[in-house]
Amino acid sequence: MNSPAHTVKSVFQTLEENHCMTESFCPETIGSLRAQGFEPVVYIVDDEASICQALSRLLRSYDIRCETFSDPQHFLDQPCSLQPCCLLLDVNLAQGDGFSLQDEMNQRGLMLPIIFITGFGTIPMSVRAMKAGAHEFLTKPFNEEELLQVVVQALQLDAGRLAYRLETEALRQRYQSLTKREKEVLELILSSHMVKQIAFTLNISEITAKVHKRHVLTKMKARTPLELLKIYERLQP
């Protein structure tokens, strides 16, 4: 068995050893995510304690929060994060393998970006991972810059997805705040009905129809029927 020092050495090509590193990693990116109100986190699932330690030490040195798991089930048992996150996942695990965890996550709808890491990567393995939605597939040894770049890209991707989900949920709550009558009026507005037609269809006065229409637009925070349509379409499954 490899010693811990040898194992860690096999994971990283240090920046001094590999000068062909990319220059796109920007530590300030993490700060910009925090400025948006996010607290990014990187999950690490690897059954080798030395690898978890090396990865977490590197990430924390750049002020990136991380949590490590030696057992994939322990990772699945934790509550879903409401922050931008990604998963560093070893392909070969004592309990199953990384692909099984990826499949289980897909079945549960856990769509956080996955970065596979392995010391024995093959083209079929990488193709399988990417087809199942993995963000990246890294073969050891990789340099620190490469890993950091991929992690930050994954966090940015998930931050965008999270912002979209939160915004969509806010829109859904606005819709749920409408009364039954207001939802009926909304449907008629989306069908290009004018106030007079809304009043006739619902057997109400034009003044009442106009009030309902104004309430619908106000509650949904839509300035025009076109904006209302875009919001409504976004809420559809």
Please tell me whether residues 125 and 204 are part of one structural domain: no
Q: Residue 18 has what pLDDT?
A: 40
Residue 171 placed within a domain: no
Please tell me whether residues 205 and 161 are part of one structural domain: no
pTM over 0.95: no
The enclosing domain of 115 has a CATH number of 3.40.50.2300
Please tell me whether residues 32 and 146 are part of one structural domain: yes
Please tell me whether residues 228 and 124 are part of one structural domain: no
Q: Residue 12 has what pLDDT?
A: 55
Please tell me whether residues 186 and 85 are part of one structural domain: no
Residue 44 placed within a domain: yes
Q: Residue 122 has what pLDDT?
A: 73
Please tell me whether residues 207 and 230 are part of one structural domain: yes
SS (H, E, C) the chain: CCCHHHHHHHHEECCCCCCCCCCCCCCHHHHHHHHCCCCCEEEEECCCHHHHHHHHHHHHHCCCEEEEECCHHHHHHCCCCCCCEEEEEECECCCCEHHHHHHHHHHHCCCCCEEEEECCCCHHHHHHHHHCCCCEEEECCEEHHHHHHHHHHHHHHHHHHHHHHHHHHHHHHHHHCCCHHHHHHHHHHHCCCCHHHHHHHHCCCHHHHHHHHHHHHHHCCCCCHHHHHHHHHHCCC
Q: Residue 1 has what pLDDT?
A: 42
Residue 16 placed within a domain: yes
Q: Residue 14 has what pLDDT?
A: 45
Task: Retrieve residue 91's tokens.
Answer: 């392909």
Q: Residue 127 has what pLDDT?
A: 84
Please tell me whether residues 78 and 107 are part of one structural domain: yes
The pLDDT profile of the chain, 237 residues, written as one tens digit per residue, is: 444 444 444 555 543 344 333 345 666 777 778 777 788 999 999 988 999 999 999 999 988 999 999 999 999 998 877 899 999 999 888 888 898 999 999 999 888 999 999 887 677 888 888 888 889 998 877 788 889 999 999 999 999 998 898 899 999 999 999 999 999 999 999 999 999 999 999 999 999 999 999 999 999 999 999 999 999 999 998
Residue 199 placed within a domain: yes
Residue 170 placed within a domain: no
Please tell me whether residues 119 and 48 are part of one structural domain: yes
Domain of 100 in residue numbering reads as 4-165
Q: How many CA atoms lie within 13 A of 138 on its CB side?
A: 25
Which of 165, 192, 216 is the endpoint of a domain?
165
Number of domains observed in the structure of the chain: 2
